[in-house]
């Protein structure tokens, strides 16, 4: 069963929430490629996940700083650790070779799910109160009327 976005994952910022929804989609693609034993699709999906995670974490930190979230440094440190963990998962997937069991595929998919869900729940949801002081549309990269309450 694919990972599904839930309202309780929302940090009350549409930009971050949209990124999380995309990350869920990419993790679902990774899981499908694992289940189908499709090395090419898995490599492509994992590359998207890795690149997008880096961009997402940078944007998330930019937004956290702009809304004056008090634990931005801790958020940055956790992002660094998460990227290292993602690389470790990639190494484990690469080590699987061309053939892998359904159990191993499910295990690797579970690691990716855990990676994202832990990120959102442990690191991002604590930002929610700082985010709620601004419009859900707040994006410090864009200066437009109505971005702040």
- Residue 74 resides in a domain: yes
- Residue 89 resides in a domain: yes
DSSP 118-144: HIIIIIIGGGHHHHTTS-TT--TT---
72-117 pLDDT per residue, tens: 999 999 999 989 988 988 888 888 777 778 888 888 888 888 888 8
- Residue 11 resides in a domain: yes
Distance CA 127, CA 111 (A): 24
The pLDDT assigned to 145 comes to 55
The pLDDT assigned to 56 comes to 94
- Residue 37 resides in a domain: yes
14-55 pLDDT per residue, tens: 999 999 999 999 999 999 998 888 888 998 998 999 999 999
What total of structural domains would you count in the chain?
1
- Residue 35 resides in a domain: yes
Determine the length of the chain.
149
Using the predicted structure, report yes or no on whether residue 146 has a pLDDT greater than 80.
no
- Residue 85 resides in a domain: yes
- Residue 120 resides in a domain: yes
Burial class (CB in 10 A: 0-12, 13-18, 19+), 56: buried
CATH number of the domain at 67, please. 1.20.120.50
Distance CA 113, CA 138 (A): 27
Residue with tokens 């034993």: 37
pTM: 0.87
Which secondary-structure segment (H or E) carries 35? helix 14-36
- Residue 148 resides in a domain: no
Residue with tokens 């961009």: 55
φ, ψ at 119 (rounded to 5°): -60, -50
Domain that holds residue 33: 7-131
């Amino acid at each position: 069963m694919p990972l599904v976005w839930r309202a309780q994952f929302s940090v009350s910022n549409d930009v971050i929430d949209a990124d999380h929804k995309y990350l869920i989609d990419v993790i679902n693609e990774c899981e499908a490629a694992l289940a189908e034993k499709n090395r090419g699709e898995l490599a492509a999906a994992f590359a998207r996940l890795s690149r997008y995670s880096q961009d997402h974490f940078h944007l998330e930190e930019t937004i956290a700083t702009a809304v004056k979230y008090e634990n931005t440094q801790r958020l940055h440190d956790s992002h660094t650790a998460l990227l290292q963990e993602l690389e470790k998962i990639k190494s484990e997937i690469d080590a699987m070779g061309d053939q892998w069991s359904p159990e191993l595929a499910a295990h690797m998919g579970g690691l990716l799910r855990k990676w994202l869900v832990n990120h959102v729940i442990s690191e991002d949801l604590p930002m929610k109160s700082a985010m709620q002081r601004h419009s859900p549309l707040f994006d410090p990269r864009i200066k437009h009327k109505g971005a702040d309450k």
